[in-house]
Amino acid sequence: MVDSNQDIVFANQQLLNLGGFSNLKGETCKSSFCNSISCSCLAIPGENLSDKIKTGFVKKDGTLAIVNKIAHKLALNNKEYTLIFIIDITEEEKLKKFQDVIIKEKSIAEKKALKETEKFEFLFENFGEALYLLNKKGDFIKVNKKALKHLGYSKEELLSMNVFDIKKTQSISKVCDLMEAVKKKGNLLFETNHVTKKGKIKTVEIASSYLNLNGEDHYFSSVRDITLRKKLESDLLISREKAQESEKLKSAFLNNISHQIRTPLNGILGFLDILEHDFSNLTPKERADYFNIIRDNSNKLLNTVEDILEVSKLNSGQAKLKSDCFSLKINLEKLIEEMKQTYQANNNSFCFEIDPDLENIMIKTDKDMLMRVLKSLLDNVFKFNIQKVLKLIVQNNNGHILFSVEDNGEGIPDKYIDTIFEPFTQTEYTLKQTINGIGLGLTISKKLVNNLGGDLKVESLPGKGTRFYFSIPYKNESQLTKTGKLEVPNKSLIGKTILIAEDDLITYMLLETKLKAEGCNIVHAINGNEAIKQFESNKLIDLIIMDINMPEMDGLEASKTIRETCEKIPILAHSAFVHDECKNNYLKYGFNGFLNKPTDTNTLIKTIMACIKN
């Protein structure tokens, strides 16, 4: 308490204890102590209490206490005094400051936590893989957008579901075992299947982790759709197996082709050796037999080469469909007779049936393709059957011709039916036979039938027989003539002068020998330049046989040059390039026809006579 002179007249013990003083009575407010507590409150008008003022209170030891100060004027014994209340709030202020710090730090932490939560939510929602959080029962607790897209459900739908709902392809016990394994190991990577809302099964790879949240088991999983990867892996495995199988087939093919080339060569070279050294000691019959063997083996060798070239041509799409007009019955009868003579030792009974509507008409289709298919099929049934009943049935089938080649032989086992048209494939049954082929016959036949507009199929019952059949479209051109045969020019080649442009002397000698036997005069040129000179210097030349591949100047350029000076001279291309595309290209260079290498004498003479006549 302070009097009007601002002298302290009373200080209670609490104030003394607060400031560490022993006595304050008699001290003036002008002292450092009083100044430290700022007694401006003494100027309070009237009897009202002053406002509570927070200020500093300097203790005796110089330390500062925080206090609330309240002053009140009163009169005692006709004297005025000021009663000052000093309340120590130091600890409260410290606590308040501490609370302020805590609140501030909490606010910062909350903002940071909120930011981290928002960041986590953003990353969770936009993660590149499907994310699931499951409780211990397998219920979906949290899922992201990728998970919804992966399964096709809305968020509300999926959060009301259980993991068992998307694992319908697996038993509950297996799913539980997986969850237990994740809990035991902490982390687990495994593959499984998920079923989408639309029922589609997806193969997935799951990386799952065990979490203990609030004392309960939870499972956090990242799910990757690997359906496409699995398909690619499966396709790759299948491709690898096919490649390995193809490699085996190629090896078998090379071994087989080696056999099919060396075997006839053995016969050709062997019997040529006998004829060369023992010709005079052989009987005429033996000589004829040996020559026939050489001819047959040469044809086998040629067929092997033609099969390889044919399948290559078909695979590359170079086979072009022609349109020929011919008698089906006459050509089939000729083919059947050839088969009977070739395989007469097998003693098979053969039946040929043709629809009466097809007997006396000329049909229009690719003759060479059709006859090659039928020859291959007939060759098979004649070759692989002994003392059996064989049939060729030809029927009119609503604008198509249905061909069926049948036998009552051993048949083909079911396991080979699907692969019998694959290249280089022969069944165990065919491997037991005496085979003359490289396993391309049926492959070529099927591709040729496809080119003709049909599809070659097979039916077979083991022990009862086999039926190959196909149906192709055709055009009915006209009625057959009385003879049913093409008119062949009946004209002699005696005295005709033929220029042979050929750099290979053996091929030249072969042509020269055949044509001289027909009475022809022969002029030889070994390249294109010489062929041009021979033609320009010899006005008696009636026809030119021009090899395509020659040194200095090839046959194409030579023919083009000759055509510039003479359009009428017949020129035949002579080449081992026998594809239709090559033949058509030769015609563009002015050739009148084409001779294959090799060419039999009959075809050679007929082609030359027809060319000269035209």
Report the CATH number at residue 414.
3.30.565.10
Mean pLDDT of the region 564-578: 87
Instruction: Please tell me whether residues 358 and 463 are part of one structural domain.
Output: yes
Instruction: Please tell me whether residues 331 and 307 are part of one structural domain.
Output: no
Q: Is the dihedral of CA 177, 183, 184, 186 positive or negative?
A: positive
pLDDT single digits (tens) 488-514:
444 578 999 999 999 999 999 999 999
Instruction: Please tell me whether residues 338 and 425 are part of one structural domain.
Output: yes
Domain end, chosen from 285, 315, 345, is at: 315
Spatial neighbors of 396 by CB under 8 A, at least 6 apart, are: 355, 357, 358, 402
Measuring CA to CA, which residue among 581, 576, 610 is closest to residue 593? 610
Mean pLDDT of the region 565-572: 91
Give the model's pLDDT for residue 581: 67
Instruction: Please tell me whether residues 362 and 440 are part of one structural domain.
Output: yes
pLDDT single digits (tens) 33-66:
554 444 444 444 444 566 778 888 888 888 888 8
Are 572 and 594 contacting, i.e. CB atoms less than 8 angstroms apart?
yes
Instruction: Please tell me whether residues 196 and 234 are part of one structural domain.
Output: no
Asked, for residue 115, whether it belongs to a domain, the answer is no
Asked, for residue 214, whether it belongs to a domain, the answer is yes
10 Å CB burial of residue 165 (0-12, 13-18, 19+) is: middle
Give the model's pLDDT for residue 83: 85
Bridge partner list, 86: 69
Asked, for residue 485, whether it belongs to a domain, the answer is no
Report the CATH number at residue 11.
3.30.450.20
Mean pLDDT of the region 536-555: 92
10 Å CB burial of residue 124 (0-12, 13-18, 19+) is: middle
Instruction: Please tell me whether residues 426 and 455 are part of one structural domain.
Output: yes
pLDDT single digits (tens) 258-304:
877 888 899 899 999 999 888 889 999 999 999 999 988 898 888 88
Q: First CA to last CA across the chain, in angstroms?
A: 154
Instruction: Please tell me whether residues 282 and 348 are part of one structural domain.
Output: no
Asked, for residue 418, whether it belongs to a domain, the answer is yes
pTM of the model: 0.49
Give the model's pLDDT for residue 63: 86
Instruction: Please tell me whether residues 460 and 346 are part of one structural domain.
Output: yes
Report the CATH number at residue 238.
1.10.287.130
Instruction: Please tell me whether residues 75 and 53 are part of one structural domain.
Output: yes
Asked, for residue 122, whether it belongs to a domain, the answer is no
Are 586 and 532 contacting, i.e. CB atoms less than 8 angstroms apart?
no
Asked, for residue 97, whether it belongs to a domain, the answer is no
Instruction: Please tell me whether residues 331 and 407 are part of one structural domain.
Output: yes
d(CA 264, CA 203): 57
Is the pLDDT at 478 greater than 80, yes or no?
no
Spatial neighbors of 497 by CB under 8 A, at least 6 apart, are: 520, 521, 522, 523, 538, 540, 541, 542
Instruction: Please tell me whether residues 471 and 501 are part of one structural domain.
Output: no
Report the CATH number at residue 505.
3.40.50.2300
Instruction: Please tell me whether residues 17 and 72 are part of one structural domain.
Output: yes
Domain end, chosen from 256, 289, 315, is at: 315
Give the model's pLDDT for residue 42: 44
Domain count, the chain: 5
d(CA 447, CA 292): 33
Is the pLDDT at 140 greater than 80, yes or no?
yes
Going by pLDDT thresholds of 50, 70 and 90, the confidence category of residue 359 is confident
Please count the residues of the chain: 614
Going by pLDDT thresholds of 50, 70 and 90, the confidence category of residue 561 is very high
Burial readout 76-115 (b: 16 or more C-beta within 10 A, e: otherwise): eeeeebbebebebbeeeeeeeeeeeeeeeeeeeeeeeeee
Q: Which two structure tokens, joined as six digits, stand for 45? A: 């008008």
Asked, for residue 110, whether it belongs to a domain, the answer is no
Question: Containing domain of residue 582, as a range?
Answer: 497-613
Name residue, tokens 């060479």.
368
Give the model's pLDDT for residue 491: 56
3-state SS, one letter per residue, for 464-488:
CEEEEEEEEECEEEEECCCCCCCCC
Max avg pLDDT among 154-168, 266-280, 441-455, 521-535: 521-535
Mean pLDDT of the region 249-263: 77
Asked, for residue 99, whether it belongs to a domain, the answer is no
Domain end, chosen from 202, 225, 248, is at: 225
What is the Rg, in whole angstroms, of the alpha carbon atoms belonging to the chain?
55
Q: Which two structure tokens, joined as six digits, stand for 188? A: 């687990």
Spatial neighbors of 426 by CB under 8 A, at least 6 apart, are: 435, 439
Is the pLDDT at 570 greater than 90, yes or no?
yes
